[in-house]
Structure 1
Amino acid sequence: MTAVPPSALVNKNKKNFLGMPAPLGYVAGVGRGATGFTTRSDIGPARDSSDVPDDRHAVPFKKKKGQEEEEDDDEDLNDANYDEFTGYGGSLCTKDPYDKDDEEADAIYEAIDKRMDEKRKEYREKKLKEELEKYRQERPKIQQMFSDLKRDLAQVSEEEWSSLPEVGDARNRKQRNPRGEKYTPLPDSILARSMTMAGTASAIDPSTGLASVIPHGTQSVTPGTMTSFGMLTPSGDLDLRKIGQARNTLMDIKLNQVSDSVSGQTVVDPKGYLTDLQSIIPKYGGDINDIKKARLLLKSVRETNPKHPPAWIASARLEEVTGKIQTARNLIMKGCEACPQSEDLWLEAARLQPPETAKAVIANAVRHLPNSVKLWLRAAELETETKAKRRVYRKALEQMPTSVRLWKAAVELEEPEDARILLSRAVECCPTAVELWIALARLETYENARKVLNKARENVPSDRSIWITAAKLEEAHGNANMVDKIIERALTSLSANGVDINREEWMNDAIACEKSNSVLTCQAIIRAVIGHGLDEHEMKDTWLEDAESCASQGVHECARAIYAHALSVFPSDKNIWMQAAYFEKHHGTRESLESILQRAVAHCPKAEVLWLMGAKAKWLADDVPAARSILSLAFQANPNSEEIWLAAVKLESENNEFQRAKKLLAKARSSAPTPRVMMKSAKLEWALGNLDSTISLLDEGLKLFPDFAKLWMMKGQVYEQKGEPHNARDVYNAGLKKCGISVPLWLLLSRLEERLGQVTKARSVLERARLRNPKTPELWLEAVRVEKRALFREMSLSLMAKALQECPNAGILWAEAIFLEPRPQRKTKSVDALKKCEHDSHVLLAVSKLFWSERKVNKAREWFQRTVKIEPDLGDAWGYYYKFELLHGTEEQQAEVKKRCLEAEPCHGEEWCKISKDIINWRKRTEEILIMVAKALPLPT
């Protein structure tokens, strides 16, 4: 057994870290709070130089100035070096390298942050927007607060501007009452003292016109010489007239000095110098630096790629814009040398050159590009004589015989006979050019044209225009039977050749045929393609839409053909007959209207409207017996029809056959008593002046129909006409018990109380009416007008504010509110009204009247036209429009307004109904009522 040496035992018990260097920054006992210490016996520091320093008990010492500046300069204060934990010293991990793992981790965190940010992004942005809008509403900008006042500044006149006081403190008495400025003349003694104190003064001898320097202080200044203060008179005063003369003399001396050189050649023209300066007008008003930059850039492009034609063109146009036309020509010619195969370059060069030089340029271009159509056309344009142009086109056609564009241009220059010969050659060279075939057919005779079109169909079997031209040809020569056959063959042939039959394209061809006066061809096309590709359930609606579209475009024959085809497919459809009848009424003749109405009542005998339209057409044509016969036939087809009864009564009453009208009404009351029949019976008696019979008929009607408000209104008005207002009041009150929701009845009672002087009762009636019928604009409007007529303006404004709160979209209220405001505020109010009721006819009419009151005639006319277009049934708009044209328009404009009003036949409007429904005017027609309304309406103020 071998003994173990003692050294081995010692090494076995020895720790492995003994004798090894300490880790970097290691301090013994630092985990327990110890940082090292020193004793008096030690010399120097107790720690190694690599230990962590302990500055807790360090004695502060003052650094030197140079040392502080050096350390401050070493510190990096950039934002990229800032860390929220360690400040500007760098982050905690600055010593570690930034590897791919760190990059990947940063990318993952960034993606997560982005995903979390997008999660509620829309909600956050929406909430931020709402908060911002709320903040703007609570705290608006000063610009928004004074926007209405800024709009009103446009109404301020120049005199009002000049009368505005100056800005200042109102508390300052001197500023409130400014005193006029005082001007005290300067004494002669001060002028003399200043003259003697100055150094020298220039003077001009008026005899020689030479300037000299005279020292002040000498007494040799003669009267009439110019000093530094002006020209002195013999008395020592300043003579301003002499100052101007001396100035002109000095200017003449300077101009004379530079006008002629030593050799005698004129350098400056003293008379035309300023004129010449004014004549120099720069051709380019932009920045010269931009021109230099563009020129340098384009030069770089040209040098980099000299084969790029747009660079040369842009350079030439830049020089052209700056006025250097010769430089532009030189540049474009260099470009043509560099790029001789560029068509655009040659065309630009020809444009920049004068005409004679341009011909040479185009000739050179044609040598390089003999197959360019544009160059040949440009060459022909440069020629002034027709013979030379023909020669150019013939040379071009020798080079390119298949160019359709060149053939068309050449044909346009020829006479008809030469053009026919040229076209015969053209169709040989271009057999697929349909336009050339059609042009040749138009120049040939009838027989030859048919042969030409047959050859065209053989060469181009897929083009429909050849077939349509053939149909037009047959129509022009009176072969109406061939037109339909040609169109049918066209559809069959095109379908066989794989051509899709597009309904819209054929309809457009039909419209073009009507515009070229080929009516039979147009109708044949419509009959052939109107139902192509349509299902049975959509035919009717589609055809009616097509007819309306054609009518709006002014192609009436197309619309008439569509209606005719639709009626042949749906002969018993009342709506189609009515649409066709309305079309004939507006766009056809009286005979066509009567014809279609006769066919309509034959197919739809139960349609009362068609019978009435037929009877009215005969009545308007002054054929009363025919109208009676139509109504008698209508009675047979529709017994006990209220509309037909009343139409017959109106026909007889309009023709002064009152006894026959009474008999018809009596028969109607016995066989078919209706509220309208009772009302018309009473109205006829009222119109004839039989007030007692009227009241008895109204009582009879009220027993049968107590809920019919018009009977109560008529009875009350009859009592008012008889001069019995108290009976009228009782009738209105009794009627309101039965018809409490009738707004006109409430208005009649209120106006009756107001006429009797009971304004308080009128207010009470309107308040009860508003309680019974809330949110009714007419009642609010009447309440406002009651206060206005009573001269309580503040009360009317208050009521109008309440009315607009309850009925914010009522146009009649906004229209009244505009003219309640003072004149400067009306424009702002009208803007608010248009925002609330953009398409309301009452608001548009109010705006028209507003422009009229401001003497803006063109704008007023434009707004009147817009008003009657948006609601042609408003009679007040027509009345104001006609009155406006009577004052400011021509006779043609007045006649146009009257014509449009007669076509519209308006029935509504406050002033219109007041006149048209007056029993005195019961037989007045629309034209007479229009004149009466225009006369009764007040001028807008």
Structure 2
Amino acid sequence: MASAKDNKNKLAFLSMPAPASYVAGLGRGASGFTTRSDIGPAREGPSEEVIAEARAKRGEEAEVDPEQFQDPDNEYGLFAGMTYEADDEEADKIYEQVDEAMDMRRKARREAREQELLSQHRAERPKIQQQFADLKRGLSQVTDAEWESIPEVGNLTRRKRQRGNERTYVVPDSVIVGDRGKGEYESSLDPMQQQSGGLATPADGAMTNFVEIGQARDKILSLKLDQATNGSSSSSSAFASGTSTSIDPKGYLTSLDTHASTIKSEAEIGDIKRARMLFDSLVKSNPKHGPGWIAAACLEEHAGRMVAARKIIKKGCEECPRSEDVWLEAARLHNNDDAKVILANAVQHVGQSVKIWLAAADLEHDVKAKKRVLRKALEHIPTSVRLWKETVNLESSPSDARILLARAVEVIPSSVELWLALARLETPEKAKGVLNKARKAVPTSCEIWIAAGRLLEQEVSRGEVKKEEGVQESEEDKKKREKMLLAVDKTIETGVKELRKHGVLLTREQWITQAEKCEAEGSLRTSEAIVKATVSIGLDDNGEESSEDEKYDIWVSDAQASESRGSIGTARAIFAYALKVFPHRSSLWRLASALEKAHGTPQSLIALLETAVSYCPTAEVLWLMLAKEMWVGLGDVRGARGVLERAFEANSESESVWLAAVKLESESGGEKGGEVNVARELLGRARSVAGTQRIWMKSAVFERQQGNYDVALSTVSEAIKKFPKFDKLYMIQGQIYHEHKKNIPAARSAYANGLRASPKSPTLWILASRLEEADGKSIKARSLLEKGRLANPGEERLWAEAVRVEERAGGGAGNAQAKALLARALQECPASGLLWSMAVWAEPRPARKGRSVDALKKSAEDGRIVCTVARLFWSERKVEKAREWFKRTVNAEVGEIGRGLWGDGWGWWLKFERAYGTEEHREIVRSLCAAAEPRYGEVWAAVSKDDRNRGLGTRGILELVADKLET
């Protein structure tokens, strides 16, 4: 007994209070942490009774329990189910702003007070680190020997343990024997396993029967095969008995693949579990929330647990019987027969749901059954337009559909769709009555008035069809047809007025949209009537009438927008109305002519231009367009002459008309390609009547083309006396002396005179340089180009010609002098597409792609750079990319040259299509080039102005340019 008492007394110190100077862990050297004693003891505050008593003494009222108004069925608060509207959000923002303002007002005072309290607290109770800071600084003077003499933690004997005295222990034999058999495998059964018939006895004593495992596997496979047989839920008895043996191998393999694909990763399984917990909490906290049940069921469906999904959605239908979405989801998750039962129950609760009835009708595969369901639905919801439309669509007989629609408009007289559908099924005579009733029932619908106009247009169209079939149209029928066409305009105009009376004010854009819709449906005359009646809306009825320029700009933009959307008839009608308002604006006639040329016939274009020149007789371009269409479009040379004669009468001193007449006579007929004498006579008359510098130049060019070089030189000399500053006269004179007369000194003198008279002409400098280079004086050529660059700083053509001179002198683009000069040129003209293109081809083949990237960064919109990139793709055999970039080339601008006018780009594209394209591709290039009519380009200008190519059209010049271009 005494010994037990002594043992108990030995442990009595555990319940004793610690000595006053005791610090936990001090014996082990652990003194670098803060304990409760450093901070101070925690003190209990006053109890609730004491606080309540003190408040009662001061006369304060007791606080209201914030939980007493809590909804017991809703743990999220009393107003958690209410809608969070915009007013609530605005109020919350205002409160937050007020709180932030008050907080900022007190922030400086609060921070100062906190800093003061913190410094006071640190002064009274400093951290242990601060208390021992001086001792830590003294540790820097401790020597290595003193560090070695410090005893280890936990060693209180102050004796340093000597190294090398570690104790070792012998491993027992049982451990070695047990580890020996870990990596061994047995390939035969022991006698015990053989006696048990394939039963394995693990170490824990459990028996594993492999025979039963194999049998279970066969049963599962048999069940899978039964489920894979063809049939639906109606053949479930065949599945159960196993008598159904028709198996679709593809379907079975597909089902196996589907089951395999449903295996989820661990991350997906974790996400599904978390989502399941969230949805479970959602439906328990708010069981009347239909979307929660739907989301929970979809989650189980995604996880492959269809049974659980159907149970959840069934519970959702019980909790939310008024939610049509829940019923529809339940029908979706079940098979066809079960879905019918579900939707039948849904009708009992939400019989006014159109979606439920339509879903029930979709479940039926028989048309009669669908009709039965939809007619039952109409008994419950007779005011549903969608149900009526679905019911009518199921009818195969027009008479039955007509009867249904007649009943539908009685029940729903405000539905425009039903009225229009009924009118389409009626005869034209009865359709008018239907539309009249519809107009009275729905006086605010523009569709009814448009339908009336289309009905009148259809009657006119039927008359035109009879006329095309050979039925002779009488005079009375013709008048009737014209009267009905006018009735279309009158109907639409009346409709617009009636709609305004009833307060329906559609904008001009909305009416244009209706016109485009009518055009797309084949009612072109109704579209024109809509444009006539509404295109001025918003321009004349705003109190202040819009100015003519504003109307002009708006109508032009509307027409161009309709054209871009493919509504050519609507655009043509807008232009027709605008031309009636502004018949004397030649620019408007040109825009209308461009539309007609692109989308009309030559006859319609000529008729439009005839009207145009009658209103604008002084517009030279309209006369020229008319003459060209007569000559090129119809091949009527005599008619073109007559047009130009009338143009002379209206514009006797017009340079363009005179030159057009000369071109017509010189290129139409005659053994040498035209009526030369008539053209020469016209030029003489033009020089005497108009006498412009361009007419004198064309006279000299004409004589040069005819081979009369002396006459051409005399004409040029006389023209130079009249127009000494016109640079092209000197060019013609120098070219005749150089190329035809072979008189280089005379050519040099001509160019020198021209440079003195027109030093700002880069072409003159280039021709003078080429003359010196052809004469073998490259130094003089370089000098001329240098002077030209001084007179025309920043001129890319002069820099390019100087680089070419160095290339021809040095034997190629790779010589150092040409590269150095090209670098200087790029510094002078950093955005020049011509120089960047030359820089790309001056590089070795591997470096060209990188150089082209730099060129695109500097001037990506220049067609010459785009063409260079296309040629690089061509060299790499990237056919589709090259073709795409060639398309971009012809649609890009080249310096100041407009889109599609750079002929060299068209030549490169045709050359590419010759190598890699089909005849169809080449024909596309030719037709697009002929429509664009390019006029510029170094090679294109040289080919087109060659006397040997006189009379060739755009297609012929394009072929020659493609032949001359060198890759």
Bigger mean CA deviation after superposition, 686-695 or 453-462: 686-695
Partner of 1:10 in structure 2?
A: none
Q: In the alignment, does 2:765 pair up with 1:769?
A: no
Shift of 1:681: 0.9
Listed one character per residue, the Cα deviations across residues 659-699 of structure 1 (whole Å, up to 9, x for unaligned) are 11111111222232221111111111111122222222212
Question: Are the structure 2 counterparts of residues 480 and 685 from structure 1 closer, same or farther at C-alpha, using a change threshold of 3 Å?
Answer: same
DSSP-derived class of the 1:662 partner = helix
Q: In the alignment, does 2:364 pair up with 1:383?
A: yes
Q: In the alignment, does 2:661 pair up with 1:648?
A: yes
User: Are the counterparts in 2 of residues 284 and 323 from structure 1 also a CA contact under 8 Å?
Assistant: no
Question: Are the structure 2 counterparts of residues 566 and 341 from structure 1 closer, same or farther at C-alpha, using a change threshold of 3 Å?
Answer: same
Shift of 1:105: 8.2
Shift of 1:577: 1.8
Partner of 2:615 in structure 1?
A: 603
User: Are the counterparts in 2 of residues 584 and 593 from structure 1 also a CA contact under 8 Å?
Assistant: yes
Shift of 1:724: 2.9
User: Are the counterparts in 2 of residues 260 and 268 from structure 1 also a CA contact under 8 Å?
Assistant: no
Distance across 1 between alignment mates of 2:294 and 2:848? 58
Q: In the alignment, does 2:366 pair up with 1:361?
A: no
Partner of 1:529 in structure 2?
A: 534
Shift of 1:784: 2.4
DSSP-derived class of the 1:526 partner = helix
Bigger mean CA deviation after superposition, 581-590 or 904-913: 581-590
Question: Are the structure 2 counterparts of residues 357 and 786 from structure 1 closer, same or farther at C-alpha, using a change threshold of 3 Å?
Answer: farther
Question: Are the structure 2 counterparts of residues 323 and 813 from structure 1 closer, same or farther at C-alpha, using a change threshold of 3 Å?
Answer: farther
User: Are the counterparts in 2 of residues 746 and 769 from structure 1 also a CA contact under 8 Å?
Assistant: yes
Shift of 1:525: 1.2
DSSP-derived class of the 1:554 partner = coil
Partner of 1:187 in structure 2?
A: none
Distance across 1 between alignment mates of 2:791 and 2:743? 27
Distance across 2 between alignment mates of 1:72 and 1:310? 55
Q: In the alignment, does 2:510 pair up with 1:505?
A: yes
Distance across 1 between alignment mates of 2:29 and 2:208? 73
Shift of 1:540: 1.7
Q: In the alignment, does 2:851 pair up with 1:829?
A: yes
Shift of 1:268: 8.0
Aligned with 2:944 (options 916, 920, 923) = 916
Shift of 1:367: 1.9
Distance across 1 between alignment mates of 2:830 and 2:875? 26
Bigger mean CA deviation after superposition, 294-303 or 920-929: 294-303
Shift of 1:926: 0.1
Distance across 2 between alignment mates of 1:935 and 1:259? 89
Q: In the alignment, does 2:669 pair up with 1:669?
A: no
Partner of 1:631 in structure 2?
A: 644
Question: Are the structure 2 counterparts of residues 354 and 793 from structure 1 closer, same or farther at C-alpha, using a change threshold of 3 Å?
Answer: farther
Question: Are the structure 2 counterparts of residues 462 and 283 from structure 1 closer, same or farther at C-alpha, using a change threshold of 3 Å?
Answer: farther
Q: In the alignment, does 2:323 pair up with 1:323?
A: no
Partner of 1:335 in structure 2?
A: 316
Partner of 2:194 in structure 1?
A: none
Q: In the alignment, does 2:415 pair up with 1:433?
A: yes
In the alignment of these two chains, the number of paired residues is: 715
User: Are the counterparts in 2 of residues 868 and 877 from structure 1 also a CA contact under 8 Å?
Assistant: yes
Shift of 1:890: 2.7
User: Are the counterparts in 2 of residues 312 and 331 from structure 1 also a CA contact under 8 Å?
Assistant: yes
Question: Are the structure 2 counterparts of residues 914 and 320 from structure 1 closer, same or farther at C-alpha, using a change threshold of 3 Å?
Answer: farther
User: Are the counterparts in 2 of residues 572 and 604 from structure 1 also a CA contact under 8 Å?
Assistant: yes
Listed one character per residue, the Cα deviations across residues 791-812 of structure 1 (whole Å, up to 9, x for unaligned) are 3533333222222222122222
Aligned with 2:627 (options 588, 591, 615) = 615
Shift of 1:894: 2.1
Question: Are the structure 2 counterparts of residues 611 and 264 from structure 1 closer, same or farther at C-alpha, using a change threshold of 3 Å?
Answer: closer
Partner of 2:959 in structure 1?
A: 931
DSSP-derived class of the 1:730 partner = helix
1:444 counterpart letter in structure 2: E
Partner of 1:309 in structure 2?
A: 290
Question: Are the structure 2 counterparts of residues 760 and 211 from structure 1 closer, same or farther at C-alpha, using a change threshold of 3 Å?
Answer: farther
Percent of residue pairs identical: 47
2:936 counterpart letter in structure 1: H
Q: In the alignment, does 2:383 pair up with 1:402?
A: yes
Partner of 2:882 in structure 1?
A: 860
Question: Are the structure 2 counterparts of residues 661 and 516 from structure 1 closer, same or farther at C-alpha, using a change threshold of 3 Å?
Answer: same
Distance across 2 between alignment mates of 1:831 and 1:590? 45
Aligned with 2:330 (options 341, 349, 355) = 349
Question: Are the structure 2 counterparts of residues 536 and 400 from structure 1 closer, same or farther at C-alpha, using a change threshold of 3 Å?
Answer: same
Question: Are the structure 2 counterparts of residues 693 and 465 from structure 1 closer, same or farther at C-alpha, using a change threshold of 3 Å?
Answer: same
Partner of 2:731 in structure 1?
A: 713
Aligned with 2:402 (options 399, 402, 420) = 420
- Structure 2, unaligned stretches of length 5 or more? 1-24, 40-101, 113-179, 191-206, 222-252, 461-483, 540-545, 669-673, 893-898
Partner of 1:482 in structure 2?
A: 487
Question: Are the structure 2 counterparts of residues 291 and 670 from structure 1 closer, same or farther at C-alpha, using a change threshold of 3 Å?
Answer: same
Partner of 2:49 in structure 1?
A: none
| TM-score calculated relative to the size of structure 2 | 0.70
Partner of 2:585 in structure 1?
A: 573
Q: CA RMSD in A?
A: 3.2
Partner of 1:742 in structure 2?
A: 761
Q: In the alignment, does 2:274 pair up with 1:293?
A: yes
2:287 counterpart letter in structure 1: P
Partner of 1:678 in structure 2?
A: 696
Distance across 1 between alignment mates of 2:386 and 2:658? 70
Aligned with 1:561 (options 552, 573, 577) = 573
Aligned with 1:442 (options 424, 443, 467) = 424
Distance across 2 between alignment mates of 1:259 and 1:882? 82
Question: Are the structure 2 counterparts of residues 480 and 293 from structure 1 closer, same or farther at C-alpha, using a change threshold of 3 Å?
Answer: same
Distance across 2 between alignment mates of 1:734 and 1:576? 45
Listed one character per residue, the Cα deviations across residues 394-437 of structure 1 (whole Å, up to 9, x for unaligned) are 01001000000110111111121111010000001100000000
Distance across 1 between alignment mates of 2:816 and 2:624? 52
DSSP-derived class of the 2:891 partner = helix
DSSP-derived class of the 1:689 partner = coil
Q: In the alignment, does 2:910 pair up with 1:877?
A: no
Question: Are the structure 2 counterparts of residues 806 and 111 from structure 1 closer, same or farther at C-alpha, using a change threshold of 3 Å?
Answer: farther
Distance across 1 between alignment mates of 2:613 and 2:646? 10
Distance across 1 between alignment mates of 2:862 and 2:804? 21
Shift of 1:903: 0.7
Question: Are the structure 2 counterparts of residues 859 and 66 from structure 1 closer, same or farther at C-alpha, using a change threshold of 3 Å?
Answer: same
Distance across 2 between alignment mates of 1:755 and 1:417? 91
Listed one character per residue, the Cα deviations across residues 147-174 of structure 1 (whole Å, up to 9, x for unaligned) are xxxxxxxxxxxxxxxxxxxxxxxxxxxx
Bigger mean CA deviation after superposition, 750-759 or 638-647: 750-759
Bigger mean CA deviation after superposition, 645-654 or 617-626: 617-626
- Structure 1, unaligned stretches of length 5 or more? 1-63, 79-101, 113-198, 213-257
Partner of 1:886 in structure 2?
A: 914
Distance across 1 between alignment mates of 2:932 and 2:208? 81
1:654 counterpart letter in structure 2: E
Distance across 1 between alignment mates of 2:624 and 2:451? 44
Shift of 1:829: 2.4
Listed one character per residue, the Cα deviations across residues 434-457 of structure 1 (whole Å, up to 9, x for unaligned) are 000000000011121111111111
Shift of 1:606: 1.2
| TM-score calculated relative to the size of structure 1 | 0.72
Shift of 1:559: 1.9
Distance across 1 between alignment mates of 2:304 and 2:32? 63
Distance across 2 between alignment mates of 1:610 and 1:376? 66
User: Are the counterparts in 2 of residues 567 and 576 from structure 1 also a CA contact under 8 Å?
Assistant: yes
Shift of 1:509: 1.1
User: Are the counterparts in 2 of residues 204 and 210 from structure 1 also a CA contact under 8 Å?
Assistant: no
Distance across 2 between alignment mates of 1:652 and 1:788? 44
Shift of 1:547: 1.7
User: Are the counterparts in 2 of residues 716 and 728 from structure 1 also a CA contact under 8 Å?
Assistant: yes
User: Are the counterparts in 2 of residues 423 and 436 from structure 1 also a CA contact under 8 Å?
Assistant: yes
Q: In the alignment, does 2:719 pair up with 1:701?
A: yes
Distance across 2 between alignment mates of 1:923 and 1:263? 99
Distance across 2 between alignment mates of 1:436 and 1:476? 20
